[in-house]
Amino acid sequence: MKTLHTAYRVTDLDTSLDFYRALGYRELGRGDLVDGSVLVVLAFPGEELGSLELVYRPADGPVELGTGFHHLVVQVHDLEASVAALTIAGLPPSVPERPGRPGGPRTAWIADPDGYRIELVEWPRGHPDGITADDLTDVDRTADDRTADDRAGR
């Protein structure tokens, strides 16, 4: 088994598409359903398959985020350049930081139009793409520190 993609329900499809295009996604395809819903599959350049699906269901009303979903992580190769490009596009992320141990990944945060949080991550040179078990070994911060950071939106 493997994870194929993530799907978000969105309140305003055009606004969400503008946001995700500014983030770097491109539209692979869409499907219009008989109930008025629209499914749009997105991918980053270089991805052959969709990694994000936007689900627009106008009959369900506005999206209300609960307490279960935490965040989506998007890997970037140059965090400073990504933050600058998003800021120019009118979508300024948080100030980049290194939340874990020295030499760990650098991150910045942004939220989409419905409030879904997205963590932009720049891994150190030579690090595998994605999180590893070693990345979870963080002796400098406690679980309480991480929880406080989460509450603060970091």
Dihedral in degrees, nearest 10, Cα atoms 20, 23, 27, 32: 0
pLDDT for position 138:
55
Query: Where exactly are the structural domains of the chain?
Result: 6-60, 72-151
pLDDT for position 145:
54
Is 122 tagged catalytic? Answer: no
Catalytic-role residue among 27, 47, 97, 119: 119
Q: What is the CATH number of domain 72-151?
A: 3.30.720.110
pLDDT tens readout for residues 90-115: 999 999 999 877 888 999 999 999 99
pLDDT for position 139:
42
The C-alpha atoms of residue 19 and residue 13 are separated, in whole angstroms, by 10
pLDDT for position 131:
82
pLDDT for position 100:
78
Residues of the chain under the 70 pLDDT cut = 137-154
Other CB atoms within 10 A of residue 103 CB: 8
pLDDT for position 16:
98
CB 55 within 8 A of CB 9: yes
